[in-house]
Amino acid sequence: MTDTDVTPFRVEIPQAEVDDLRERLARTRWPVDQQLDGERGIPLELTQRLAQHMAGAWDWREHEAALNAHDQVTTTIDGTRIHALHARSAAADAPCVVLLHGWPGSVVEFQRVIAPLSQVAHVVVPSLPGYGFSGPTPTGGWTSERMARAVAELMARLGYGRYVAHGGDWGSRVARDLAVVDPDHVAAIHVTMTMGLEPEQSDDARAAERARRYAQELSGYMKTQATKPLSLAPALTDSPAGQLAWIAERFRDWTDPASDVFGPATLDLVLANVAVYWFTGTAGSSSQLYWERREHPNDEWSTTVPTGVCVLPHDLRLPVRAAVEPAVDLVSWTELPRGGHFPGIEVPDLLVEELRRFLAAL
């Protein structure tokens, strides 16, 4: 093998690691349950309930099998391993779409989207460098632009000369950077967030309120990961209850209340997403992107690659059309009736419908 080889891959977590996860959760040293007023983070009772289910009825093997139902590959790019799910369409001449997750997402985020979308397109779902089954990056410097270059090289190695990139959260930024670094091969991008195009003041009252709430109430995680990611890493890597609480809080705060992400329809998928971070030991490496963003605040958008924006009403931040339209080649603007930051989990049917519509329009 050489570094450019693309090799088959299967998710196969040793049973000893699955047992270790359950045992660690069962013997968690919980904080004292104080009677406190006001919003102070994810409630202890909720974290305990999620941990109890994860250590009991929840079955990792079910989600492992769902991932292994798709072809998967790994390859080495720029000195680090890159993993991807690769679902080919039955039609050889179908378009190709690459789905890009962010933090605290993973390839699990698109588990319910891949099969229906592959009916009309070839689907590639990478684990971003430093995330999930790509494993921790061996070095720093992994900005979203560097990640975009790695994804572009992955798509070339998979044989795609033309593709569409969809992304949410950091995936939106990687998709944006793909349009800049690989314009000859990126047919279009489709994003749910428009990082760098958030106006300081906006006439859009809904977007302004979301921005205010994020700055005042929801951005603590970002400030920690952007300034002291190494201080946080040992706790999240050693304690599955800590990792669970850190990620579950984002699902609680960033989703549509109607999605009920901790309800019976989606809870197990949320826990599988948490488990990917746990089993791969990527709590520390995934958070480094926040530090890199602070040190390398580049906000370049392509003005020539067709761009589609999909607005989720309960997302963390809401795109503002008046700020986006002058900055990109805006060919599509969709406002979905429901959903939040994780549409692949919350509203997979709406996301598939939107991506199919976008691909057909192109």
Q: Where are the alpha helices (DSSP H) in the chain?
A: 15-26, 44-55, 60-68, 114-117, 144-157, 170-181, 205-213, 220-227, 229-238, 240-253, 267-280, 283-295, 321-324, 343-346, 348-361
Mind listing the domains of the chain with CATH numbers?
42-361 (3.40.50.1820)
SS3 209: helix
* H or E element that contains 75: strand 71-77
| C-alpha span between 310 and 67 (Å, rounded) | 26
Cβ contacts of 75 within 8 Å, gap of 6 or more: 3, 4, 5, 6, 7, 81, 82, 154, 157
Q: Which two tokens stand for residue 88?
A: 């080919």
Residue 340 has what DSSP assignment? Answer: B
Cβ contacts of 312 within 8 Å, gap of 6 or more: 192, 256, 336, 339, 340, 341, 343, 347
The residues that are catalytic are 169, 290, 341
pTM of the model: 0.96
SS3 327: coil
43-51 long-range contacts, CB within 8 A, separation 24+: 46/248, 46/252, 46/262, 47/241, 47/244, 47/245, 47/248, 50/244, 50/248, 50/262, 50/267, 50/271, 51/25, 51/240, 51/241, 51/244
Strand partners, 314: 340
Q: What pLDDT, on the 0 to 100 scale, is given for residue 2?
A: 54
Tens-binned pLDDT, residue by residue, of the chain (362 aa): 457 899 999 999 999 999 999 999 999 999 998 888 888 999 999 999 999 999 999 999 999 999 999 999 999 999 999 999 999 999 999 999 999 999 999 999 999 999 999 999 999 999 999 999 999 999 999 999 999 999 999 999 999 999 999 999 999 999 999 999 999 999 999 999 999 998 877 888 999 999 999 999 999 999 999 999 999 999 999 999 999 999 999 999 999 999 999 999 999 999 999 999 999 999 999 999 999 998 888 889 999 999 999 999 999 999 999 999 999 999 999 999 999 999 999 999 999 999 999 999 98
Q: What pLDDT, on the 0 to 100 scale, is given for residue 1?
A: 44
Q: Which two tokens stand for residue 140?
A: 């720093």
Q: What pLDDT, on the 0 to 100 scale, is given for residue 269?
A: 98
Cβ contacts of 132 within 8 Å, gap of 6 or more: 83, 106, 107, 276, 277, 280, 282
SS3 286: helix
Contact present, 24 and 54 (Cβ < 8 Å): no
Q: What is the dihedral of CA 251, 317, 136, 85, to 10 degrees?
A: 80
